[in-house]
Homo-oligomer: A and B are copies of this chain.
């Protein structure tokens, strides 16, 4: 699987910034210099730098250059909200994890579910409730709706392991676009029964709409996070 040139350059520059070969506040070499260094066109260098801008690693200024604004961050232990599965997250952080399935059923989308999930009325969906445990503590409740025509035959076993692993490996399905909304709400009785709230009377509710490569919104998920374990990062650049 050969990577593209601009991705290679992007990753190389990124690593050099992280390793402080290019330091905070320093200007990157000019585009023309990088063109010679990587033996490519200026467009390709610019695409690589464009990605670094999106990641908040550099900031460019017209006739000046691309300045490094990446700062080493005491990486938080917990870092939810990224586009990765619970299992991946737990593994990456070397955390003991477990998923318990509370509800597993098939439903037909009616008016009420449609209002809530934006799934088209009449289709069949899996409705799954799961509690995620981290180091033995129940910290997240996931409420999923999966389109059955896309995810085919789900089972409780798969839901206890990783639905995303199953989708990518067995069905070659991938989440391509994720739209999310975050709010904080008062806890419900359900939250109090299932989650370790540590005195909080609120819960972070992340509602996601997830599209596959065909542009089909195949998943609607409400993730209810205990506040103590929730962190979200974001960076934006005004054009």
A230 touches which one: B7, B118, B180, B184 (CB < 8 A)?
A: B184
Q: Which residue of B lies closest to A4 (CB)?
A: B239
Q: Pick from A100-108, A123-131, A150-158, A199-207 the stretch touching chain B.
A: A199-207
A238 touches which one: B71, B176, B232 (CB < 8 A)?
A: B176
Give per-residue flags for A166-197: 1 if the beta carbon is below 8 A from chain B beta carbons, else 0: 00000000111111111111100000000000
Q: How far is the CA of A174 from the CA of B238 in the complex (A)?
A: 9
Determine whether the beta carbon of A59 is less than 8 Å from that of B184.
no
| A217 neighbours in B (Cβ, 8 Å) | 69
Interchain residue pairs A-B with the least CB separation, the first 3? A184-B227, A67-B215, A182-B232
Q: Show 14 residue pairs from A and B whose CB-CB distance is below 8 angstroms, ordered by the A residue.
A: A25-B215, A56-B177, A56-B179, A59-B177, A61-B213, A176-B238, A177-B238, A180-B234, A182-B182, A182-B233, A183-B231, A184-B204, A184-B230, A201-B202
